[in-house]
Every structure is written in structure tokens, then in C-alpha cells.
Structure 1
Amino acid sequence: MAALARSPSEPGLVALEEELTCSICLCLFSSPVTVPCGHNFCASCLELCWAGLSANFSCPQCRATFAGRPKLQKNTVLCRVVEQLQGRAGLGAAEEKEEEEEEAAGRGAQAPPVRCDSCLQAPAVQTCLTCTASFCSEHLRPHRDSPAFRDHQLCPPLRDLQQRKCPQHNKLFEFFCGQHGSCICSLCLLGHKLCPTSPLQVAKANAQLALKKRLVELHNQSERATRAMNTVKTNQSQAAETASEKKDLIKNEFLEIKVLIEERETQTLKAIADEEKRVSNKFDYIYGVLGSKKKEIQSLRDQIEMALTEGDDILFLKRAAALQQTPTKDAFVPLIEMDQNLLHSTYQSAVNLKDVVKLSVIQCREKRVEAKLTPGKTKTPPAASSNRTFVGKKPPGPQHTHKEKILHQAQATLQVEADTKEKKKPVKVAPTTGTLNAAAVVSTKELIDSFLKKSREELLQYAANITLDYNTAHNKVILSERYTRMSVSDIPQNYNHHPQRFIDCFQVLGFQCFKRGVHYWEVELQQNNFCGIGICYGSMDRQGPESRLGRNSSSWCIEWFNSKISSWHNDVEKCLPNVKATKIGVLLHCEGGFVIFMAVGEKHNLIYKFKTQFTEALYPAFWLFSSGTVLSLCQMKQ
């Protein structure tokens, strides 16, 4: 590399210089860094390119994109290569000689002595700075003996006196210019009249003093850095210890919850087992009674058979008369059933406890999602937080913890069941209602499965061409292509006031409404996955936080938030598996009480289904996040 640097005109060095050139500033690398795709750039150039970006970082050369901001590290190998190329290219013959001497010194060789400039043979003993020449002891005699050389300045032998001379005036350097940072001769003082200058010895003393102060400052900075590193390690250890303690506390809390749930499970199963034992004992008793009756009947049969073998007519008639008067009854099995009230109440208590735990988990998940979406908002204290479905109700007091609320609700449920069990006597309950409900559930499930198995051509027989209702569109929602395409504008559209128009959310409803029958329509996600597709009642609010699709009990929707897909109803979110689709099919069955969202393709892929009893007419509903989001209604042939 040194050889290449000494001959910058060689073609190989030119090619090397091109490889070491930044593609942004077209100069040699300065503090080069490497991006994940393998390309190198100046650190400052890359910082300018990525300034102001929070996402979508890309390589300026190959345009490769990165998920997050890459961690850049200095390429030390390139740094050394560039430094060698820059430093070696400007070296002259004198520097080459000095390098050779340094290499020889590194190998243990001694530097050659300074020769006398008069005889060019004997080693010099002193150098005259006035004559700018070195002399041996013989030729130095005039300087010692003659008064003419009394003012000449002598010093130990010096090598390369030409480097100590001013190249412009050929005089020795005597002063130092602090402004330009260079040594000057006495004639150069005229050009540096306004500059702070000082003799070389004074400048050297000042520089030494400044470097000593700098050295002390660096030492103090090093000690402060060491203390800071120790502080970081201490804080790291404290953070790990705090996290460990919190994890232990959380494990204990969940262990208590598990113990309580297992205790409740044991109690519930014991109640069922006791009822089973009671009924089983009754069956055992009846079984024993029937066994005794069977033995009596068998004994009577044996007596009759023996009487039939009697040969004496008188004895036979007496025995026959007695046997005919012996009474016998048919076996009777009384109706024995388990206490249906007890079975239902114990099962319902388990369901209630599950709902309480499920509701708590959903609330926690919902809060975490809200915290991610709105990181700048202040966190709500746990004691004051409550599910948004309980708007207008008094929140629990600050003295109750989250676990206590769950326990209180579970205890209240158990107390109600106990009171009901004490007040009510066991009543035989006919299982017809449960059978009818189970049959209805099975029928609805079979109906949904039958529609999910249908092909797109079969679903198109229920196709409905949906158009958008101009009177419901938000003031920034643009409707185009004969009211089948919607997007968001940054500029208000100055729509006329209408009581059905959405005020706060970028939403619009379909013009068609459905009260009965089966209906199917398709929506195309053209740009930007920040949107929602669903259905709602016409009575849904048009303004306020509850007017957003899925955030109330009057609407059901599927929402795309970038790569995240969620179902929303009654302000409860459920995260769904990611399904890549550009066209969404919506199947509504009014009498069946369900709506299905599916990804349209060669084979329909279920996204989510809602099951409920619809009480009002339903409208197709759509939500857009911001400008750039576009939805289009597919017009299908019927």
C-alpha cells in the first residue's frame, strides 16, 4: 500500500482511490461506516441523508430498505487504508528517507553521524546556526578563537538544517505565529504584523504548558468516564434486581389466583360429586329392593312347581289355595333425577368466573394496545381505570386492587348461588329449554359452515351492489366513481349539514339497508392498510368517541392497522391472525344472526365471524384512517 501511495500516477492507485470514494460526496471516505447491505459511506453524509427520518431507512446506493435505523459502526480497516492513501501520496524523497531511517532504527541499526560541512569526512561536533553549517573540532576552531565569530550561535550537531530555514527567505526560523500555527523567520514578521508571534523558546514553553493542562484535563475526563461506567453498571444491576423482585411478586400473585381458581373448581366439582353420590345411593337402594322382590317371586315360583308335583289331592288343594292367595306386585322403578337447578347453577358459576377473568384479561390487553398507539398520553392509575363499556358508572374505589375486584365479583356470584340454593327447593326441571337452545346453536353453526363451504360463484347469488350514502360521509371523506370509491382529503369538502353525517370519525355508510334475507358484497383495499369494514345499526351515534365503528354495541367491524388485524364490537378488541388480502367479502344473514368477513381469492379464507340477534336494520359501514387510504366497492353482476 505504501508503494502505491508513493506513485499516485499508477493506474492501480487510481482504481483504489475510486473504490475509496463516497458515492454521496464523491470524496475520499471520512470516518467510513458500513450499512447492512454492505455499502460504505462517510458517517456525516449518511447522517444528512437520514436526517428527519423515523422509518423507511434505505441505502443511498442500492435503495435497499431496513426495518429500523441500522446501528452504524466505524469501518476501521477502510479508515486505515484511506489514511495511508492520503498520508503517503504527499510524501517527498526526504520523508521517504526519514521513513527508511526509522525502519532501520526499528531494526536496531544506529543513525549515521552528522558530517562536517567543510571536510565532509570527520563527524561534526557542533552546528553554527548563524553559518547554517556543521563543523568538526578542527574546523570549529575559528569560531572559538576569532572574535569575528563571537556572536555566532552554536548548538549540538543538527541534521537537515534546510528544514529549519524559511523556504521564502532562506533564513532560520526564529519565531512562531500562533494565529497560523507555523514557524517564521525574522523577515516574515512583516507579513505577520497583526499576528501574535513569539520566539521559538517562548512558544515551546507555552505549548508545553498548554499540553500539560490538556493532559490533566484528559486525566480528569477519564476518571469521570470511569465513574460514569461504574454508575451505569450499578444502575444495570439495580434494574435487574428490581425486575427480578417484580417477577417474583407477579408469580406469587398469579399463584394465588391459580389457587383460588383451583379451590373454586374443587368446590364446584365436589357439589356435582355429592349430587351424583346422592342419586347413586338412591339407585342402589332401589336396586336392592328390586332384588329382594325378585327373590320373593322366585321363591313363590319354586313353591308352585313343588305343589304341582304333589300326588295327594287333599294336600295339593290346600297348598294351591294358599299359593293362590299369596300377593305379588310388578317391579316399579321410581323416577330419580339429579337436581337440575344445582347442575345449572354450578355450571353457570364456572362460566361467570371465566367471564370475569376473561373480561379482566381483555381490559389489560386493551390498555396495552392503547398505550402503544398513544405513547404520549399519561397512564391512567390502575385504581381509576375501568372498561369503557361501563360509561357513566362509578369506577371502583382506589382501595381495591385488580385481583380484589375479581375476587369480589366471584364471591358475589357464589353468594347469589348459595342464597338461591337455600331459598329454592329442588324442583324437577324439564330439559326442553336447554335442548331447544342447543338445537338452535347447532343449527346456526351448521348454517354458517354451509355458507363457508360455498364457492364465490355460489355466494354471488346473494350479491348486493352497494353505493355510498352522501349524507353520512364525513366532511373530509371524498366519494367518487358513482359513490363506490372513498378516500380521505386533507381539505374539508364543505358538505351540507345533515343529521346523519359523521362529525368526528372519517366514516361513511352504505345507502342500502337490510332487514331480512342473505346479502353479500365485496370491498377492495386499494391503498394503505389503515381502514375498517363492517356493519352497523342506523341508530349508531354520529359524533363523539362512541361514533367510531366497533366502539359501541350498535356496530361490528374488522379493522386493519398496518399489518395488525382486529375485530371490534362494543369497544372490545380481539386480535386476529394476519391474512394477506386485497379484497374482502362480507356475508350478512339477518335471520341467522351472523355476519362473516372473508378474504376473497381462489379459495375463501375466513377472517372472522360475529354471531348475535340483530334487532334493527343494518347498513354497510366503512372507516378510513387518514389521507392515502382508499376503499372501493366492487360492483358484481347479479
Structure 2
Amino acid sequence: MDLLRSEFLEIKALIEEEENQAMKKVEEEEKRVCDKFDYVHNVLGKKKNEIQVIRDQIEMALTEDDDITFLKNAAKLRHTSTKEVFIPRIDLDQNLIHTIYQGAFSLKEIVKRTVNQPQEKKVEANLQWKPKAFQINPSNKLSASGRKAAGSQAAKIGKAPQKPQPELSEDADTRDKRKPAKSAPNTANPGATSLESFLTKSREELLEYAVKITLDFNTAHNKVLLSDRNTKMSVSEIPQKYSPHPQRFTYCSQVLGFQCFKRGIHYWEVELQRNNFCGIGICYGSMDRQGADSRLGRNSSSWCIEWFNSKISAWHNDLEKCLPNTKATKIGVLLNYEGGFVIFLGIGEKHNLIYKFKAQFTEALYPAFWVFSSGTMLSLCQLK
């Protein structure tokens, strides 16, 4: 117990050190920006005093009764010039902040996988290996048949049966009617879990894969207004003065999630709060940010479902598939990266499948959103 305690104390110390280093970097960036603000504040204070002195001189000149003296003082004041104050651009290094956060997020995912792995393997081994009773002869030695059975069982320990996974349906608007091979869920390899198994899960079971999603304002089009700590998006009638950024959308009023996923199973929900001119999907980070090809679903790098008034469509690679209407105002998105599919669900008293895409993903995927007309509003549900 002492040895175990010392090992875990060391693990905690390493994680705390990583946390301290990350917080220190953010604090240093905060201090850098605050120092700039303090400098500008001091410069503006000096400029304010300078202008105040000139103002006092002007007011004194206006009280002068002697016209000759007034004209002399006025002539001197005319030669007094005030230069515009140069105010440097002050903003946080968003790339640095993003990198620090992604590092912490990646560390968390590694720890979660590492912590869950031993338990999963243990459960799997218990399910797969059931030792047979050994045959014992009167001399308390294993018989030949007993030794043979023991040897064969020992050879099987820890080896999971290799069963073929059910093939995913290519037709994404109807469920695959072929019955998948019955097999125990492979918890050690979440990516191998079949699409059909998720379609039968309850919402409570889907919430086991819930992730927290926030919006990355560096990608937001200038007509997209972000609010509620970057969890709500709407169409702004007044263009936002976002600073230029290589990841910002310039053609379509779209925005990406801050988080990206390159492995595992992830689930999030989006509420359609107003209007029906919007789109919800996923995309690669390499998707275009300019031109008509940058719209969700109009390229090979994105998959989405789209509401255009009363019409609902699924889009990928500039191909549209019209879908049956749904009254659901809350949409669940489940991404299985290794499994190679993403499904969109209408969430209500019972969730129902809206559409499913099958693909072999090759890059990190980001949640993606499109809002079109004035009044459109989407809100990310905080499931954690």
C-alpha cells in the first residue's frame, strides 16, 4: 500500500507540475497584455494632462480684456500642436492559448484511456476464459487428458476471439436491414462498436460519450455573433469587427468548435432555438475558409444536415439528399472516429435517427455550424 501510494503521489505531482506550467504560461501571456494596457494608460494620461494645459491656456486667453495681448497669446497657441497618440494593437496570443488548452485536453484523454484500459482488459479476460474442471487421479496428479485440457486453456488466456464486425450500410437514410453477427461489445476497442448498437442505445447511454463543446471565435464569420461564453451563435445584422485570422470563414456565416477529435467516440447536442435556416455537421480543419467550396457539405471535407425553411437535407461532397421532416428542436451528434461514421439524432421523448454518414476519416474533425438568416440561433447544450 505504501508503494502504491508513493506511485500515485508521483503521478499526481507530475500532473500538478504540468498544470502549473500551463497556468504559468497563460499568466505570463496575461501579464504581457496587462503591461501593454498599463503602458498605453500612462501614455494617454500624459496626453490628457498635455491637452488640459493647452485648454487652460485657451481659457485664460479668452478672459483677456486687452485685444493686443489676446492676439499675441492666440498667435502663440496656434503654433502649439498635439500629436495623435500611437496605440499598439493589444490582444492575447490565441494560438498560444489554443495550444496550451489542446495540450491539457490531450493529456486528459491519454489519462482516461490509460486508467480505463486495465479494467476493460480484466473484464474481457473474465468473459472469455472459463477453466474446465481438471481430472485428478488417485495419486493427486493430473491425468494426461487433464494436462492436455489445462495446456489448451492456458494457450487461450488473454486471446480475444477475432469476430468480423458488421458491415455499415451505405444507404444513410434507412437502417441496415442485415442482422449483424452477435458478439460481446469490445470495450477495449471503442472504435469497433457498430453503428447499429448506437441506434438502439438510450439517451442516457449516449451521454456516457458526452463532450463539452465551445465555439472558436477565430473561425467565426463576421456575421456570426457568439455569446454565452462561446456556446451560442446567431446571425448579427451588424458585422462583427473580428481581427483577421487564417482560420476565419470569409464567405459563409459559419463557425467551428474549439475542440477537435482524432480518435474515440464523442457525443454532443445542439438546440435549434430560433428559425430554420441553419446547418450542423463536422469537418476537417483543412476545409477551405474562402469561396463557395467553404460551405458545409459542399466539399469532400465536411458532412452536415441542413435546415432550409421546412426542407431538411443531408450534404457531403456537394451532393444533397432530401430527408423527412422532423419536429425535433434538439439535435444529437455522435461521432465514432475509428468506426468511421457520424449519426444525427432528433432528441425528444425518444430519439430518432435523422441521418447517418459513413466515411473513413483521415484528419482531425471539428464540430461545424452554419447560420443563415437574421433571427437564426443555435445553442450548444452543456451536457457536462
TM-score, structure 1 normalization = 0.31
Match of residue 542 from structure 1 = 289
Please state how far the C-alpha of 1:440 moved relative to its aligned partner: 4.5
**1:378-427 deviation digits (Å, cap 9, x = unpaired):** xxxxxxxxxxxxxxxxxxxxxxxxxxxxxxxxxxxxxxxxxxxxxxxxxx
Please state how far the C-alpha of 1:561 moved relative to its aligned partner: 0.6
Match of residue 573 from structure 1 = 320
1:482 counterpart = 2:229: yes
Contact 2:222/2:239 (8 A) holds in 1: yes
Please state how far the C-alpha of 1:627 moved relative to its aligned partner: 1.3
Q: Compared with structure 1, are the counterparts of its residues 437 and 566 closer, same or farther at alpha carbon in structure 2 (3 Å cutoff)?
A: farther
Three-state SS of the structure 2 residue aligned to 1:470 is coil
Q: Compared with structure 1, are the counterparts of its residues 636 and 515 closer, same or farther at alpha carbon in structure 2 (3 Å cutoff)?
A: same
Please state how far the C-alpha of 1:483 moved relative to its aligned partner: 0.2
Choose which of 361, 374, 378 in structure 2 pairs with 1:627. Answer: 374
Match of residue 599 from structure 1 = 346
1:509 counterpart = 2:229: no
1:454 counterpart = 2:201: yes
Please state how far the C-alpha of 1:539 moved relative to its aligned partner: 0.1
Please state how far the C-alpha of 1:437 moved relative to its aligned partner: 8.9
In 1, Cα distance between the equivalents of 2:344 and 2:353? 6
Three-state SS of the structure 1 residue aligned to 2:344 is strand
Contact 2:192/2:339 (8 A) holds in 1: no
Q: Compared with structure 1, are the counterparts of its residues 630 and 439 closer, same or farther at alpha carbon in structure 2 (3 Å cutoff)?
A: closer
Match of residue 471 from structure 1 = 218
Contact 2:165/2:194 (8 A) holds in 1: no
Match of residue 261 from structure 1 = none
Q: Compared with structure 1, are the counterparts of its residues 482 and 577 closer, same or farther at alpha carbon in structure 2 (3 Å cutoff)?
A: same
Count of aligned residue pairs for this structure pair: 202
In 2, Cα distance between the equivalents of 1:553 and 1:446? 25
Match of residue 362 from structure 2 = 615
% of aligned pairs identical? Answer: 77
Match of residue 305 from structure 2 = 558
Q: Compared with structure 1, are the counterparts of its residues 491 and 459 closer, same or farther at alpha carbon in structure 2 (3 Å cutoff)?
A: same
TM-score, structure 2 normalization = 0.51
Q: Compared with structure 1, are the counterparts of its residues 501 and 606 closer, same or farther at alpha carbon in structure 2 (3 Å cutoff)?
A: same
Please state how far the C-alpha of 1:604 moved relative to its aligned partner: 0.8
> Over aligned residue pairs, what C-alpha RMSD do you find?
1.8
Match of residue 55 from structure 2 = none
Three-state SS of the structure 1 residue aligned to 2:218 is helix
Three-state SS of the structure 1 residue aligned to 2:250 is coil
Please state how far the C-alpha of 1:606 moved relative to its aligned partner: 0.4
Counterpart residue type for residue 546 of structure 1: D
1:636 counterpart = 2:383: yes
Please state how far the C-alpha of 1:495 moved relative to its aligned partner: 0.5
Contact 2:166/2:194 (8 A) holds in 1: no
Please state how far the C-alpha of 1:439 moved relative to its aligned partner: 5.5
Please state how far the C-alpha of 1:476 moved relative to its aligned partner: 1.2
Please state how far the C-alpha of 1:623 moved relative to its aligned partner: 0.2
**1:7-55 deviation digits (Å, cap 9, x = unpaired):** xxxxxxxxxxxxxxxxxxxxxxxxxxxxxxxxxxxxxxxxxxxxxxxxx
Contact 2:223/2:239 (8 A) holds in 1: yes
Counterpart residue type for residue 205 of structure 2: E
Three-state SS of the structure 2 residue aligned to 1:519 is strand
Please state how far the C-alpha of 1:447 moved relative to its aligned partner: 1.0
In 2, Cα distance between the equivalents of 1:438 and 1:446? 8
In 2, Cα distance between the equivalents of 1:514 and 1:465? 12
Counterpart residue type for residue 328 of structure 2: A
In 1, Cα distance between the equivalents of 2:335 and 2:301? 15
In 2, Cα distance between the equivalents of 1:588 and 1:509? 15
Q: Tell me which protein shows more helix as a share of its residues.
A: 1
Counterpart residue type for residue 552 of structure 1: N
Match of residue 192 from structure 1 = none
In 2, Cα distance between the equivalents of 1:599 and 1:593? 21
Match of residue 518 from structure 1 = 265
Contact 2:280/2:369 (8 A) holds in 1: yes
Please state how far the C-alpha of 1:490 moved relative to its aligned partner: 1.6
Choose which of 504, 527, 543 in structure 1 pairs with 2:274. Answer: 527
Can you give the 5+ residue segments of structure 2 that lack an aligned partner in the other structure?
1-162, 169-179, 182-190
In 2, Cα distance between the equivalents of 1:493 and 1:625? 15
Q: Tell me which protein shows more strand as a share of its residues.
A: 2
Alignment of 1:209-608 (within 5 A): 440-441=167-168, 447-608=194-355
Match of residue 219 from structure 1 = none
Q: Compared with structure 1, are the counterparts of its residues 438 and 632 closer, same or farther at alpha carbon in structure 2 (3 Å cutoff)?
A: closer
Alignment of 1:10-29 (within 5 A): none
In 1, Cα distance between the equivalents of 2:375 and 2:166? 48
In 2, Cα distance between the equivalents of 1:634 and 1:564? 24
Please state how far the C-alpha of 1:602 moved relative to its aligned partner: 1.4
In 2, Cα distance between the equivalents of 1:632 and 1:440? 34
In 1, Cα distance between the equivalents of 2:333 and 2:195? 13
Three-state SS of the structure 1 residue aligned to 2:225 is strand
Three-state SS of the structure 2 residue aligned to 1:459 is helix
Counterpart residue type for residue 579 of structure 1: T
In 1, Cα distance between the equivalents of 2:166 and 2:331? 31
Please state how far the C-alpha of 1:601 moved relative to its aligned partner: 1.0
Please state how far the C-alpha of 1:492 moved relative to its aligned partner: 1.1
Counterpart residue type for residue 340 of structure 2: G
In 1, Cα distance between the equivalents of 2:245 and 2:164? 43
In 2, Cα distance between the equivalents of 1:458 and 1:445? 17
In 1, Cα distance between the equivalents of 2:196 and 2:165? 16
Q: Which runs of 4+ in 1 moved over 4 A?
A: 436-446
- Higher normalized contact order (CA 8 Å, seq sep 6+, divided by chain length): 2
